[in-house]
Structure 1
């Protein structure tokens, strides 16, 4: 498939935004349960604002992929059968809940409404955190199923696509939370950084399993099945046209196998190896800049990872358009 940069930025930005929100919620839950020191409401509010900005930026990026942006609202009409429509509906819900969560902290609505057990006071922010978490997980699912639900793209049709989106998005969000904590001098750098490393390692396991699976795929569609000839050796010499077309632009990336392999190596280093190394060095040196560098490195790596994800998919129509005369 042809990797559209608007979709690449959409998925990586909203993934980081959802992950950052989940990090803020996780920190609050740990603090409420007494496992971490209580944080200032301003810290939660600004973190939520940053998550909201990422979600808005991702939404804005998606408009560059639309032929008629003024008709974007119609994408929600097929919510009964389309994961894209469900994403279009759930994304604004997540944005509203993230905004409400941050606003509640900013306004100091932290007086307990009731208490669960003996040690868990529940206030407005905690209720919004629960709703926002459920909505964020639903958004991860909707975004991933847009691709995992495409049956004829065998590279995508696997539960590993869903786990990759969730784990990599959460990892980038927790890494951003560590960077944000380092920037403002908050002591939760170690907490968020440790979770970021755990999620990054889990994402590595999921992505490597995905790559291994895709390397062993036996495609249902071949040149032989495309043209109805069973001969063992069939080579296409021309696509029957002398120039490019919509099919060659939108369903094929136009890069060599060697280029795809290089991108794969780049994202494996930038998404997994370097951020973990930088966070480890930050623990040892006490540096406040290394967590920020770790997030920046991982995010750029995720752009390459998402490009590779789209480029990996072999659309069956390319059996007719492999080469230009």
Structure 2
């Protein structure tokens, strides 16, 4: 498949914002909310959700008709995502405004109720986003429960690292230290499950064959030409254009950036109690997750590519 930059940005940024809000909700319910980093976390998550929504509009052919997506909520996971996302944005933004304007005792009293709504809201949004791809049965790389698991765990891991980074930058080193262990554990778990999906997808074999795609029942069918002098929708939207070498090296690169290097940096931060290390871990993981999401789309093989085997 051809990765769309707008969707890569949307899913990555929104996932991190959801994870950030979940961390804030859990620590609030545990009566250990951040002190200095409370407002930075709330407003950062809200701005990231808005930015993700704006990025998603660049994927639409007619942005002014985007509201029509909600009409198919009974059958479409994308329609359900379109409904859940604004609701979650309103929840995050409302909490941010409330914490900014209300008196500290009043804001603290309302926090547990808001936190109790944030957690299921984030989980539902992750599920809706992942199911957009997991429900497409003919794309074998996506049609598996690991798609939902990975969207959720990658969002949680990046949210934890983002929360520790904001805590460190806001001078709330105690909060950053409190989430270090959880950041390491969740990042390691996300690496494990993403590795499972990589191994699974590497062993997949197409259910269709060139013979079934073309109707030519010869023993060996090889495409020699695309069959046209120019490209078409099929060749533009279902081919990523990357070389086989790039496809082989990309998983190594994103695993190092999104998991390996952050784990080393977080371990260093835990051992030395050094807050300045957190931003380095966040930058490395953010770059790795963008690359991971590109590979998630590029690795998916649409069945029509068995017919259009070569673009040139």
TM-score w.r.t. the length of structure 1 is 0.91
Report what 2:127 is aligned to.
Answer: 141
Alignment equivalent of 2:110, drawn from 124, 133, 143? 124
Query: Structure 1 segments of 4 or more deviating over 3 A?
Result: 108-112, 229-232
Alignment of 1:79-98 (within 5 A): 79-98=73-92
Question: Displacement of 1:324 after TM fit?
Answer: 4.0
Match of 1:74 in 2: 68
Normalising by structure 2, we get a TM-score of 0.95
Select which of 172, 177, 181 maps to 2:167.
Answer: 181
Quote the Cα distance in structure 1 between the aligned partners of 2:157 and 2:225. 44
Matches within 5 A, 1:77-226: 77-106=71-100, 107-108=102-103, 110-111=105-106, 123-186=109-172, 187-226=174-213
The 8 Å contact of residues 171 and 199 in structure 1, kept in 2 or not, is answered as yes
CA pair 197-316 structure 1, distance change in 2 beyond 3 A: same
2:257 is equivalent to residue 274 of structure 1:
no
Equivalent residues in 2 for 1:10-49, closer than 5 Å:
10-30=10-30, 32=31, 36=32, 39-40=34-35, 43-49=37-43
Quick one: structure 1 residues 230 and 66, their matched pair in 2 at CA, closer, same or farther if it must change by over 3 Å? same
**C-alpha distance in structure 1 between counterparts of 2:44 and 2:311, whole Å:** 46
Could you tell me which residue of structure 2 aligns to residue 318 of structure 1?
305
Structure 1: gaps (5+ residues): 113-121
Are residues 1:295 and 2:282 paired?
A: yes
Instruction: Please give the alpha-carbon distance, in whole angstroms, between the structure 2 residues aligned to 1:109 and 1:131.
Output: 20
Range that drifts further, 193-202 or 96-105: 96-105
Shift of residue 229, structure 1, vs aligned partner: 3.3
Q: CA RMSD in A?
A: 1.6
Other-structure match for 2:248: 261
Which deviations, in whole Å up to 9, do the C-alpha atoms of 1:169-203 show, x marking residues without a partner? Answer: 11001100010011011111122222111111111
Q: Distance in 2 between matches of 1:9 and 1:26?
A: 26
> After the TM superposition, which of the residue ranges 283-292 and 5-14 deviates more from structure 2?
283-292
Q: Is the 8 A contact 2:29 2:115 kept in 1?
A: no
Q: Which residue of 2 aligns with 1:117?
A: none
Q: Distance in 2 between matches of 1:202 and 1:262?
A: 22
8 A Cα contact 1:263 1:308, kept in partner:
yes
**Higher mean C-alpha displacement, 239-248 vs 146-155:** 239-248
CA distance in 1, matches of 2:82, 2:105: 31
* 1:269-312 alpha-carbon deviations (Å, 9 max, x no partner): 00110001011112233322211110111011000000000011
Say if 2:84 and 2:121, in contact at 8 Å, map to a contact too.
yes
How many residues end up aligned between the 2 structures? 310
Unaligned runs of 5+ in 2: none
8 Å contact 1:241–1:324 — kept in the other structure?
A: no
Kept in 1, the 8 Å contact 2:2–2:237? The answer is: yes
Partner of 1:228: 215
